[in-house]
Amino acid sequence: QVQLVESGGGLVQAGGSLRLSCVASGSFFSILTMAWYRQAPGKQRELVANADSVKGRFTISMDNARNTVYLQMNNLRPEDTAVYYCYANLWVVRGGPTFQYWGQGTQVTVSS
């Protein structure tokens, strides 16, 4: 019913840029929160916005009219290589509780 679909991942050379998009689709009332997480092999999933290493390089923006969150990634480094996941906490119906959803993830690979 509710889907989060990420796009924009791929292979990029160090120093390059990528822009990830995540759109929430389906039947829901309203979005409380959307965010980006990432998980590298053998590491815990982390909130991108809280990662010290991305500060000054990554920018998160939201297009509320399109239920879309973006992650602009500049000056990419090999250590940014990870699966990037979209997260949303939203109301499915008016007056009901919020529910948490995850996208399928999109692979970002940064070569040195």
Q: How far apart are CA 85 and CA 99, in angstroms?
A: 16
Signed CA dihedral, 64, 66, 69, 74: sign only? negative
Dump pLDDT digits (tens) for 25-79: 999 999 999 999 999 999 999 999 999 999 999 999 999 999 999 999 999 999 9
Alpha-carbon span 41 to 25, nearest angstrom: 28
Whether residue 1 is predicted with pLDDT greater than 90 in this model: the reply is no
Say if residue 81's pLDDT is above 90: yes
**What's CA 79's distance to the chain center, in Å?**
17
Of the chain, the percentage scoring pLDDT greater than 90 comes to 99
